[in-house]
Structure 1
Amino acid sequence: MSVAITALYTGILALIVVAMGINVTIYRFRYGVMIGDGGQNVLRRMVRIHGNTVENIPLCALLMALYEIDGGEKMVLHASGIALIVGRILFAGPLWVHDGPSPIRASGVTLTWGTTAILAVLNILQLRS
């Protein structure tokens, strides 16, 4: 059983996580802060962008893989992968600039959580087949 579609999107998402991690490291060196945020608002935002992405991607990627292994619809998998990538970008973009409320950031969170919830339900429904 192939998980080629999940592998594609998980690979892209992994590169996003790596880029965000490198970004945190750059800001850590810039401010001379190796642990925590040192009271630097910008560093705190960069750490949360990275952390939030790391917190959300693995579960969704696992749900994608399980759905694909169980013969899930290819278009659903592609839509899920794209939604997750777009959701993570929409979440990170506004937070990169400021830490205030943002409808764009909220839409990114909604895409991420919505994708995770839909894949969870689809996995449960496949048990009945």
Structure 2
Amino acid sequence: MTLTITALYAGLAGLLYLLLSAHVIKQRIATHQSLGDGGDDTLNRRIRAHANFAEYAPLTLILIAAFEAQGGAAPLVHLAGIALLLSRAMHAYGMQGDSHAWGRKYGIVTCFLLILVLSLADIALALI
């Protein structure tokens, strides 16, 4: 049993993580702020978008891997991977400012629903 589909989305998530990292670094350079946010709202938002990704993506990828490993249907594994990437991208977009708040809201809701569904599916598959 290989986790080929999960590996694809883990790799794509890694690239998104690097993009968010670069976004933070770019603002750190612009503000000459090596630690913390120095009171810069843009830097604070970028730091939180990056950190939020780091908080939710690993657990979600573990849940996706467990689903795939237990024989979850390939289209559903792909759907979960796409939902993870879209939810985290929407959240990061929404963190840019109030005019983009819809992205944060729908990114959070999508990610939470994904974690809930995957958790229940993994439990159900483990008990069968």
Same fold (TM over 0.5): yes
Aligned to 1:65: 65
**Match runs of 1:89-128 below 5 Å:** 89-96=89-96, 98-99=97-98, 102-128=101-127
Matched to 2:66, the amino acid is: L
Give the % identical residues: 30
**Match runs of 1:41-52 below 5 Å:** 41-52=41-52
Give the CA RMSD over aligned residues. 1.4
Aligned to 1:40: 40
- CA shift digits 1:42-90 (9 cap, x unpaired): 1001101101111110000001111111111111111101111111111
Distance 1:36 1:104 in 2: 24
Aligned to 1:12: 12
Number of residue equivalences? 128
Distance 1:122 1:15 in 2: 27
Q: Which runs of 4 or more aligned residues in structure 1 lie more than 3 Å from their structure 2 counterparts after TM superposition? A: none
What is the TM-score with the length of structure 2 in the denominator? 0.94
Matched to 1:55, the amino acid is: E
Distance 1:12 1:74 in 2: 17
What is the TM-score with the length of structure 1 in the denominator? 0.93
